[in-house]
Amino acid sequence: MTVAIVPSQEDAASHDDAASTEATADAAALIAEDARDFGVYARTGGWAFGLKVARSVRPGGQSAGETPKVSAKEFAELAGCSADRVMRYYKAWDKAADDGMVPHFEALSPGMDVDLPDADVWLSYYTARSSALTQRGEAITQAAEAEGIRPTKALEVAENPTALRAAILADPGTAEAARKALMDRLDEDPALRTELVRDIARTDDLKKAVAAESKAGDRVDYVRQIVEKGQVKTDAGQMIDAPAELREEAERHLSLIDELDDGEESGEWAREAYDTVRDLVAQTVQSDPELRVQERRAKFYSSLQKATKVFEELTFDDVDDIDDIYEDDMVKRLEDLQQAIGACITALRTAMPVRPEVDQDARA
């Protein structure tokens, strides 16, 4: 007869302790494995995953029969991700191998470990966005690196222009950054410059703003010339030496304008500086009898040159039949002009000094 032996409570407790110890050991092993993997990633970053791709995905040009490695598509299916993601790691490793940072694909086999570069270096080879693989993406990446930012940020913005537009419309800081970027790009992008000019020309408010800013700039240049060159242009176009008082006043106004912040409107300051300087220039001319005469002479010559140019263009050469354009008012205005010109000639002849030879000829 067989007698069943019932285990004692002590034996059961011993068995439970052993099972608990084994479970604890298994957990410890799993934790240690996770810690090792985490340490590898902390030290090497994306290189750890790049290595897994490099040693498992066969390089281009090799057939399945030449190597135990699999294609990027097969690897992606096993990993449960897209082939594009696998290829981004693949291409990052390929670039690093060309630079001598890591071994080439042909030198690696499945499961093989190699020394990996530091984690920070990975970002200079890898991009998380497929758009970076295009020519446009490469240009954006280079520009981002030149600005000292991560290329992924710039690529994300470039892929979502609607988001960029929303940020520009909603945030003055983003709009200002966009404005500066456009200005920096204008020199190397004639097409953009042309389109921008056309947009301004088609918008009445912008045309007025450009005209006002241009006028303010001309006024500031007028004041600046007095400070920097010590000369000033009169109403008649003469260049004269600026008196000390005029230079001091011009310098005072110019310093106020130069101290304005970039966002401050300079138009009113420019107008005040210009008007003040012009008043002082007029006072300078009026206080000097000789200069006053020169100014009047210059004004007369300027008007005479303008009138001469107008009358030289006033012909009937392109008129087939003068009767078609005749108006009584035309003749009246020309007769009035003729009288005015005659009066000027008479006044000038009266003031003209008589030369001896001219006087003798007249008496003869």
Residue from 221, 217, 225, 236 nearest 285 by CA = 236
Q: At what angle do helices 204-229 and 244-258 cross, to 10 degrees?
A: 140
Give the percent of the chain with pLDDT over 90: 5
Cα 142–Cα 143–Cα 148 angle in degrees, nearest 5: 95
Q: Say how far apart CA 317 and CA 310 lie, in whole Å.
A: 15
Specify the DSSP class assigned to residue 130. Answer: G
For residues 79, 81, 83 and 89, what is the CA-based torsion angle, rounded to 10 degrees?
Answer: -80
Q: What is the tens place of the pLDDT at every residue in 168-178?
A: 889 888 888 88
Cα–Cα distance for residue pair 40/116, rounded to 1 Å: 9
Among positive and negative, which fits the CA dihedral 254, 256, 259, 264?
negative
For the record, the structure tokens of 198 come out as 């056309």
Q: What is the pLDDT of residues 201-245, one digit of tens each?
A: 888 888 888 888 888 888 888 888 888 888 888 888 888 888 888
**Among 317, 96, 210, residue whose Cα is nearest residue 325:** 317
Q: Are 49 and 57 in contact (CB under 8 A)?
A: no
- Whether the pTM exceeds 0.75: the reply is no
Instruction: Provide the residue type at 103 as one letter.
Output: P
For residue 245, the model assigns a pLDDT of 87
CA distance 17 to 168: 66
pLDDT greater than 50 at residue 360: no
Between 8 and 359, the more confident residue is 8
What is the C-alpha to C-alpha distance for residues 142 and 127, in angstroms, rounded to an integer? Answer: 12
Judge whether residue 137 has pLDDT over 70: no
CA 11 vs CA 6, 7, 18: distances in Å:
10, 6, 11
